[in-house]
Homo-oligomer: A and B are copies of this chain.
Amino acid sequence: MTWIDEIQFNEEGLVPVIVQDVKTERVLMFAWANREALEQTVATGKGVYFSKSRNQVWVKGASSGNEQNVVGMQLDVSGEAVIYRVEQVGGIACHTGHASTFWRELRTGGWVESEAVLRDPQEMYHQ
């Protein structure tokens, strides 16, 4: 039995992945991985995921350059969720130019933008 056999993939063959920045401890994004994505992550040290909408494995940062160096992986008690501990290249995980994809916070009136755009998305994807 190897490490991957202890992961409880769901009926779609996927496991939730929480991506956390090792320097800031911010949760950068939520994503999914299948067996192949996890194996590629461990083999390459880069954050690799599975896109449900595109139905394929994707390497974070392949188009934006904002890749992730995965320095650790954690598994929850049930084996049903994984954390990637990452160094976020460029300090930006969101395609909007925010550091984290979780840039909305609930206030009394609704969700508000709680952090600044660090880089113009146009600039990130057209270089």
Complex: A82 Cα to B45 Cα, angstroms: 26
Complex: A78 Cα to B81 Cα, angstroms: 20
Query: Which residues on the B side are within 8 Å of A102 (C-beta)?
Result: 74-77, 81, 83
Query: Which residues on the B side are within 8 Å of A125 (C-beta)?
Result: none
A40 at interface, CB cutoff 8 A: no
Complex: A21 Cα to B19 Cα, angstroms: 15
Residues of A within 8 A of B (CB): 2-3, 6, 16, 18, 20, 25, 27, 29-30, 42, 72-78, 80-81, 83, 94-96, 98, 101-106, 110-111, 114
Interface contacts beyond A77-B98, A83-B102: sample of 11 additional A-B pairs, CB < 8 Å, sorted by A: A3-B111, A6-B111, A18-B18, A18-B27, A25-B25, A27-B74, A27-B83, A72-B106, A74-B104, A74-B114, A77-B103
